[in-house]
């Protein structure tokens, strides 16, 4: 089935008034969509020839349709060790050895409608939400979250407790994008459509949002999101937590400052040497 046909069928379901009869079984459309997402033949966001990442609205609409037509069901494992109740259209994904994905025992969940490439390593506990895309050789470490529709490249390391935000609505909003060979440090938060370009290093504890200014000490400039574009971290940038003074008189008297990320250098051979251990752990 072509993507154009699937898109049109999803659009017909979106336009369907509540309670009106459906022209076809919505569950068939939902199954085709989730399977295509898992195969990687469609994505919730794509990089254009101009290098700009853009959401694919009809794919996100299809995911919302899966929630709309899903019924509450007991999705608990047969062992009964854990209790899960959710929409029956969104169960956890099942993997086997042929998928080539390491999911280390210990309480991780990967939802249906995610693309997980061969060579991905998942350390427990971690969670990957619907619509996410994770490239080969990436490690998702303990307590890390990959939000709905987030796009994670190849050979990325999402360190322990890293939070990669997701977005389903509005459907035109681009999700968080982490490009190839990026390192995201422990306890980082990357949210609200932020794009982290290839080979960047996000130091432990950095938080990036649409409202976060990022100060580049190397190029003496400030990166910010605009109404038309998300915050972007340049390729190879090494970002660490920093602070800037609050200049209001009372705040200055108290010695207050605000957290702000700072680019202190760009990735070089020494940075790569410090991260070379990654390859030995996979």
Which residues have CB under 8 Å from 239's CB, separation 6+? 200, 201, 202, 203, 206, 208, 214, 233, 261, 262, 263, 264
Separation between Cα atoms, residue 37 and residue 43, nearest integer Å: 6
Name the CATH code of domain 3-68 (choices 3.30.110.30, 3.40.50.720, 1.10.166.10, 1.10.645.10): 1.10.166.10
pLDDT at residue 103, rounded to an integer: 97
The domain made up of 92-275 has a fold known as: UDP N-Acetylglucosamine Acyltransferase; domain 1 (2.160.10)
Per-residue pLDDT for the chain (282 aa), expressed as one digit of tens each? 568 899 999 999 999 988 888 888 999 999 999 999 999 999 999 999 999 999 999 999 999 999 999 999 999 877 667 788 999 999 999 999 999 999 999 989 999 999 999 999 999 999 999 999 999 999 999 999 999 999 999 999 999 999 999 988 888 898 999 999 999 999 999 999 999 999 999 999 999 999 999 999 999 999 999 999 999 999 999 999 999 999 999 999 999 999 999 999 999 877 776 665 555 555
pLDDT at residue 23, rounded to an integer: 83
For the whole model, what pTM was predicted? 0.93
Q: pLDDT tens, 54-95?
A: 999 999 999 999 999 999 999 987 766 778 899 999 999 999
Q: Exposed, middle or buried: residue 119 (CB in 10 Å: 0-12, 13-18, 19+)?
A: middle
How many other CB atoms are there within 10 angstroms of residue 67's CB atom?
A: 14
Domain parsing of the chain, residue ranges: 3-68, 92-275
Please provide the distance, in angstroms rounded to a whole number, between the alpha carbons at the two ends of the chain.
36
pLDDT at residue 279, rounded to an integer: 58
pLDDT at residue 18, rounded to an integer: 83
pLDDT at residue 21, rounded to an integer: 86
């Amino acid at each position: 089935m072509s993507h154009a046909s699937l898109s049109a069928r999803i659009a017909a379901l979106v336009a369907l008034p509540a309670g009106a009869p459906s022209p076809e079984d919505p569950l068939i459309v939902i199954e085709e969509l989730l399977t295509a997402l898992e195969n990687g033949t469609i994505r919730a966001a794509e990089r254009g020839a101009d290098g700009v990442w853009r959401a694919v609205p009809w794919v996100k609409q299809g995911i919302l349709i899966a929630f709309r037509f899903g019924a509450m069901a007991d999705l608990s494992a047969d062992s009964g060790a854990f209790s899960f109740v959710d929409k029956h259209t969104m169960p956890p994904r099942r993997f086997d050895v042929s998928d080539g994905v390491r999911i280390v025992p210990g309480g991780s969940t990967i939802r249906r409608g995610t693309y997980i490439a061969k060579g991905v390593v998942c350390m427990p506990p971690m969670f990957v939400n619907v619509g996410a895309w994770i490239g080969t050789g990436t490690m998702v470490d303990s307590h890390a979250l990959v939000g709905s529709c987030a796009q994670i490249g190849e050979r990325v390391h999402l360190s322990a407790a890293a939070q990669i935000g997701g977005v389903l609505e509005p459907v035109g909003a681009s999700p968080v994008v982490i490009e190839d060979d990026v390192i995201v440090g422990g306890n980082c938060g990357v949210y609200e459509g932020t794009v982290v370009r290839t080979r960047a290093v996000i130091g432990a504890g950095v938080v990036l949002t649409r409202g976060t200014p990022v100060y580049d000490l190397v190029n003496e400039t400030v990166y910010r999101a605009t109404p038309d574009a998300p915050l972007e971290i340049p390729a190879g940038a090494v970002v660490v937590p920093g602070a800037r003074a609050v200049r209001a008189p009372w705040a200055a008297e108290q010695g207050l400052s605000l957290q702000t990320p700072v680019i202190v250098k760009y990735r070089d051979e020494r940075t790569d040497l410090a991260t070379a251990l990654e390859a030995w752990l996979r």
